[in-house]
Amino acid sequence: MSLHDSSRGLTAALVLAQTLAVVYTTGFVWTLQLMDYPMVARLREGASESYMAAHNQMFWRVLAPGLLVAGVTSVLLVLNRSRAVPLRAALVTLVLLILIMTLSGVVATPDRVDLAQHFSAAVHAHLIRVSWIRTVAFTAWSGLDAWLAWRLMR
């Protein structure tokens, strides 16, 4: 086995792990966007706050594993990749990760915390708008990973 074959095998494993993590997380984010967040506005007063409090406790348990794998593999793909993964593509995964994490931590998390304390239509609408950006970013990342997997299979 040559060094190139070994590098390509590691790259393929990283791309596979990242693709599985990102596609899983993308599906979760689409579920939040189309079902979970819109339903919050339909709950009666008092119920939306308790729902969001429970949501906030469980949210990271579901999202964290996929984000952790996606984050680690993004960094590793920049540092250790074969020619099958263009540097530009590996860097785009990092940019998407940073965008998603920034929107999640700086904007969406405070909105979810606010909604757990008191429902506000304005905060809820803001959360949905910001979440659309994350949803599109995750969807783009899924597409990029599918393209990278295709490149490695040919």
- CA distances 36 to 30, 41, 76, 98, Å, are 9, 10, 33, 24
pLDDT tier at 6, thresholds 50, 70, 90: low
Domain boundaries, the chain: 3-153
**Which of 101, 97, 126 is closest to 113 using CA atoms?**
126
**110 close to 127: Cβ distance less than 8 angstroms:** no
Residue with tokens 């074969």: 82
pTM score, whole prediction = 0.90
What distance in Å separates the CA atoms of residue 130 and residue 88, rounded to the nearest whole number? 26
The tens digit of pLDDT for each residue in 16-67 reads: 999 999 999 999 999 999 999 999 988 887 888 999 999 989 988 999 999 9
